[in-house]
């Protein structure tokens, strides 16, 4: 008897207790109790995941739980990986959430509904990978979507404001985000339902085992259709372009711990679904499936990070960066499928391992980034980078943790993101040996896109850190910021420990990752050896020892900063006034803002981003040459949203208006419709039979 | 191609170097070792002196062959080339500019206005001559001074 069922039962019990506690307890107790129970859900789920990564498996059927079909559950290493990630993120973020929701009144995240829903959302994050039948999976999937929708809407009555400030009236952007999220996630559900229904009908059963067994008997066109439907739904959940529109709206508007959970745990499940269905249940497929995924991944990576570069809202920036990272993961999954389709199993395993490792890395640093952004938001009430600044002195711990996570996100050594992107690039570069024209074109292109997105990511996080935390505050609210309470810092420190561990000793994950890759039928340990601290690729002569990289970098930094000091001490030092062009002292308004930092990049990518600019000059009444007021407006709209969604929405709206004319309000007309309908039906029956 | 032809047909336009100006090299300038970075400050001039300074650095008079070079910030400069009477609005910026320069630093007052307010003496907006605001090391008289005079003054700083 393995530890998995016990851990999962504990998680379920804790979540149920947490939901009841959230409903029943008074505000003062509620936040702490629910937080602890949610952390418990995370720990229990994570334990189950780690046990699965360690090699144990579990399957069961609870016939009474779900009507007709019964609940089928199974845990293998692939599910375990995603459970472990979700569990770890949950445990840390729940601790952070206690600090976040305490002392801010019983609204927003501290409200009764939000606190009752939070443990259920946590449980659904852990349980989605456990499902082993279509009905069970879809139920849990929908539970996750609904609970997260509740949580996104938690602050619909005005955002989080610093202590002592009156609450503004309702925030329309939260409601708008909620609408977008609700519609898109349910469109995704419809696609999933259609895809899985088709799959199950063709395979002759709805449990994953039957699907797996029956997949090869299905005609290729139907298989392709199933894959397209399911892949669209899952990539939308992962926030990949072009179905990402909900993500940059919902993630910034949700309370920050929820943003962290969504960005670090929920979007991952889109990847899980894709790997599970595409590589495992369908058992791989022809090259065009994976080329499509590669294209989507490349587009998401570059487009996501470009939009992040333009964003001046800190949380929106992070949300777009999630889109980018999921794009990188999709590239890995796509490459893996492509290599598998060409029969190169070891390379496919390497690409999938890189993608899964990037999921883990992204979860660690993105949760930390969102938590740090949340503590900035809580301390200042601001998300706008153009108004922040000077937080390094006022919130030193938060600033340091944000910097650490940003290092992971820029994918440069010694950050943790570097290791997975290095693996991904290795697999893509060596994939050129695989024959085929499409491969020869797409793989170098993917490598270039990854390189481009990595470069822009560096600019993005320099901007977020430099403009947001350094220099001088540009708003009195930023100037009055104070460090976050200890519980929030504790939660963030847990995440930071994860980031550091992943950056220094990724080898600890090695065997688990091998088993996860092995779970979809690829040779797990064939491509990678995790000798102690480093990563070595056996087929390809390449190795990476992150610990040495870190040691070398540290030594170089110490030398570069220490030597000039030693040498410079002999010179006389004069303190001079900051050069201000001879005018008055520079004001904070003169400092570099996020918008000005992004301006050169925006010029370079002018054709892609199509920014909108509006200059409005009002002259004084006496003369047209004397200017009284200049209004300058600048916006970088999400162009894909602009071009793709707005026509659809307009068409829908006009159809709705046209349909309204049919319902004129006259009872006679409605009776006429009924009669006409009946006649048409009868005629059809007569003719048809 | 046009540029190359221009170079070939124009040839050398610089005047032959005049003999080294008499007078001691400024003692504080010796540390500069013959390479001098110059920052111009217009403290309220009529722009006549600016035109002559521009001429001093053009290819004909070519002050750069003697080691003087114009820079865009006092942080990079050794010499401040100040023109015009110091107007009230420019008094503080002039002081700050000179204070922003590294040591050793020199101030060269260019033009009659800079030396004694010239045409503008007694004007309502005039604070005083350059020497009333910052210590002056060298003066170039003339209204405006000829480019040769400006070059000669700079050569006394560079020592070349
Ligand atoms: S010295 Fe003569 S040319 Fe120079 S600023 Fe004064 S008036 Fe103008």
- The pLDDT tens digits for B53-69 are 999 999 999 999 999 99
Taking the mean position of all CA atoms in its chain, how far away is CA A333? 16
pLDDT band at B104 (very low <50, low <70, confident <90, very high): confident
pLDDT tens figures, B112-158: 999 999 889 888 999 999 999 999 999 999 999 999 999 999 998 98
- pLDDT value at residue A525: 47
| pTM across the whole model | 0.85
User: Smallest Cα–Cα separation from A82: which of A279, A265, A328?
Assistant: A265
In the reported structure, the alpha carbon of residue B37 is separated from the centroid of ligand 1 by a whole-number distance in angstroms of 23
Look up residue A610 and give its two tokens: 């199509």
CA of B138 vs chain A CAs: smallest distance (Å): 22
pLDDT, residue A165, reads 41
> Given this model, what pLDDT does residue A89 score?
96
Confidence at residue A169, expressed as pLDDT on a 0 to 100 scale = 43
- Which residues does chain B have within 8 Å of residue A583's beta carbon, measured at their own beta carbons? 93
Residue B41 CA, distance from chain mean position? 9
Ordered by where they begin, the domains of chain B are: 29-158 (3.40.50.12280)
Cβ contact, residue pair A577, B73, below 8 Å: no
> What is the C-alpha to C-alpha distance for residues A71 and A258, in angstroms, rounded to an integer?
28
CB B50 near ligand 1, within 6 Å? no
Residue A526: its H or E element: none
Q: Does ligand 1 lie within 6 Å of residue B144's CB atom?
A: yes
Q: Which of B88, B89, B100, B101 to mutate to test the interface with A (most CBs of A within 10 A)?
A: B100
Rounded Cα distance between B50 and A578, Å, is 27
- CA neighbor of A282 nearest in space, from A353, A216, A344, A237: A216
Mean pLDDT, chain B, as a whole number? 90
Under an 8 A CB cutoff, do A580 and B75 touch? no
The answer to whether B89 faces chain A, any CB pair under 8 Å, is no
- The verdict on a CB contact (< 8 Å) between A582 and B96 is yes
Q: CA of B130 to nearest chain A CA: how many angstroms apart?
A: 16
DSSP 8-state class, residue A284: -
Give the residue on A whose Cα is nearest the Cα of B93.
Answer: A582
Tell me the per-residue pLDDT of A111-149, one tens digit each, with 9 for 90 and over. 888 899 999 999 999 999 999 999 999 999 999 999 999
B44 contacts chain A (CB < 8 A)? no
The owner of tokens 């707005």 is: A646
Q: Give me the DSSP letters along B87-104.
A: EHHHHHHHHHHHHHSPSS
CB-CB contact of A285 with A227 (8 Å): yes
Stretch (H or E) spanning B108: strand B106-110
Peptide bond into B104 cis (omega under 30): yes
Out of B51, B81, B118, B125, mutate this one to test ligand 1's pocket (max ligand atoms within 8 Å of CB): namely B118
Regions in chain A scoring below 70 on pLDDT: 1, 157-170, 523-542, 568-573, 689
The closest of A82, A86, A101, A85 to A36, measured between CA atoms, is A101
Q: Which residues pair with B79 in a beta bridge?
A: B38, B106
Greatest pairwise CA separation for chain B in angstroms: 55
DSSP A94-144: HHHHHHHHTTS-SSGGGSHHHHHHHHHHHHHHHHGGGB-BHHHHHHHHHHH
């Amino acid at each position: 008897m393995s530890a998995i069922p016990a851990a999962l039962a504990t998680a379920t019990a804790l979540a149920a207790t947490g939901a009841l506690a959230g409903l029943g307890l008074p505000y003062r107790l509620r936040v702490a109790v629910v937080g602890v129970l949610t952390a418990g859900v995370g720990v229990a789920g994570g334990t189950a995941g780690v046990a699965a990564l360690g090699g144990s498996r579990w399957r069961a059927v609870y016939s009474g739980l779900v009507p007709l079909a019964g609940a089928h559950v199974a845990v293998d290493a692939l599910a375990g990986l995603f459970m472990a990630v979700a569990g770890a993120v949950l445990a840390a973020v729940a601790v952070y959430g206690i600090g976040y929701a305490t002392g801010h009144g019983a609204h927003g995240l501290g409200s009764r509904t939000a606190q009752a829903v939070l443990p259920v959302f946590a449980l659904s994050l852990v349980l989605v990978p456990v499902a082993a039948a279509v009905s069970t999976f879809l139920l849990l999937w929908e539970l996750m979507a609904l609970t997260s929708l509740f949580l996104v809407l938690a602050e619909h009555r005005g955002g989080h404001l610093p202590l002592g400030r009156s609450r503004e009236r309702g925030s329309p952007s939260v409601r708008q985000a909620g609408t977008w999220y609700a519609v898109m996630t349910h469109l995704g559900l419809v696609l999933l339902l259609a895809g899985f229904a088709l799959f199950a009908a063709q395979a002759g059963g709805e449990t994953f085992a039957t699907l797996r067994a029956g997949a090869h008997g299905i005609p290729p066109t139907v298989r392709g259709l199933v894959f397209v439907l399911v892949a669209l739904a899952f990539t939308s959940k992962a926030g990949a372009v072009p179905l990402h529109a909900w993500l940059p709206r919902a993630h910034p508007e949700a309370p920050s711990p929820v943003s962290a959970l969504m960005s670090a745990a929920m979007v991952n499940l889109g990847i899980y679904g894709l790997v599970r269905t595409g590589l495992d249940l369908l058992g791989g497929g022809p090259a065009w499936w994976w080329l499509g995924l590669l294209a989507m991944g490349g587009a998401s990576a570059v487009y996501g990070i470009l939009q992040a570069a333009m964003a001046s809202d800190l949380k929106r920036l992070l949300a777009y960066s999630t889109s980018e990272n999921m794009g990188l993961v999709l590239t890995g999954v796509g490459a893996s499928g492509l290599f598998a389709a060409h029969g190169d199993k070891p390379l496919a395993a390497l690409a999938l391992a890189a993608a899964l490792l990037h999921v883990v890395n992204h979860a660690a640093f993105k949760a930390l980034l969102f938590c740090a952004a949340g503590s900035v938001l809580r301390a200042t009430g601001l998300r706008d980078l153009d108004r922040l600044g000077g937080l390094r002195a006022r919130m030193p711990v938060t600033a340091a943790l944000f910097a650490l996570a940003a290092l992971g996100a820029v994918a440069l050594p010694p950050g943790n993101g570097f290791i997975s992107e290095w693996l991904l690039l290795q697999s893509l570069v060596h994939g050129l040996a695989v024959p085929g024209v499409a491969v020869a074109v797409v793989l170098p292109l993917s490598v270039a896109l990854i390189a481009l997105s990595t470069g822009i990511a560096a600019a993005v996080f320099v901007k977020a850190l430099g403009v947001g935390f350094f220099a001088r505050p540009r708003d009195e609210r930023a100037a009055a910021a104070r460090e976050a309470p200890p519980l929030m810092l504790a939660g963030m420190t847990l995440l930071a420990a994860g980031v550091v561990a992943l950056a220094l000793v990724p080898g600890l994950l090695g065997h688990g990752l091998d088993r996860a890759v092995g779970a979809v039928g690829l040779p797990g340990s064939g491509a990678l050896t995790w000798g102690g601290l480093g990563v070595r690729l056996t087929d390809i002569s390449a190795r990476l020892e992150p610990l040495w990289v870190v040691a070398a970098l540290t030594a170089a930094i110490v030398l570069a900063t220490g030597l000039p000091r030693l040498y410079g001490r002999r010179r006389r030092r004069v303190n001079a006034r900051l050069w201000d062009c001879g005018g008055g002292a520079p004001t904070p308004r003169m400092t570099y803002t996020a918008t000005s930092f992004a301006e050169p990049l925006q010029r370079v990518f002018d054709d892609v981003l199509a920014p909108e600019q509006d200059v409005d000059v009002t002259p004084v009444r006496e003369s047209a040459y004397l200017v009284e007021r200049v209004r300058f407006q600048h916006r970088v709209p999400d162009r894909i949203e602009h071009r793709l969604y707005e026509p659809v929405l307009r068409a829908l709206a006009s159809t709705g208006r046209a349909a309204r004319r049919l319902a004129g309000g006259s009872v006679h007309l409605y009776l006429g419709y009924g009669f006409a309908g009946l006649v048409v039906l009868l005629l059809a029956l007569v003719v048809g039979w | 191609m046009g540029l190359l032809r221009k170079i070939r047909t124009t040839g050398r336009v610089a005047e032959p170097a005049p003999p080294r100006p008499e007078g001691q090299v400024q003692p504080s300038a010796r540390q500069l070792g013959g390479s001098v970075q110059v920052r111009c400050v217009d403290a309220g001039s009529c722009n006549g002196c600016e035109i002559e300074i521009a001429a001093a650095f053009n290819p004909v008079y070519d002050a750069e062959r003697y080691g003087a070079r114009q820079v865009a910030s006092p942080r990079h400069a050794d010499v401040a080339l100040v023109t015009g009477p110091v107007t009230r609005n420019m008094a503080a910026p002039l002081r700050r500019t000179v204070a922003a320069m590294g040591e050793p630093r020199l101030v060269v007052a260019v033009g009659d206005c800079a030396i004694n307010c010239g045409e503008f003496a007694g004007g309502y907006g005039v604070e005083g001559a350059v020497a009333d605001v910052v210590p002056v090391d060298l003066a170039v008289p003339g209204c405006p001074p000829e480019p040769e005079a400006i070059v000669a003054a700079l050569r006394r700083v560079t020592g070349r």
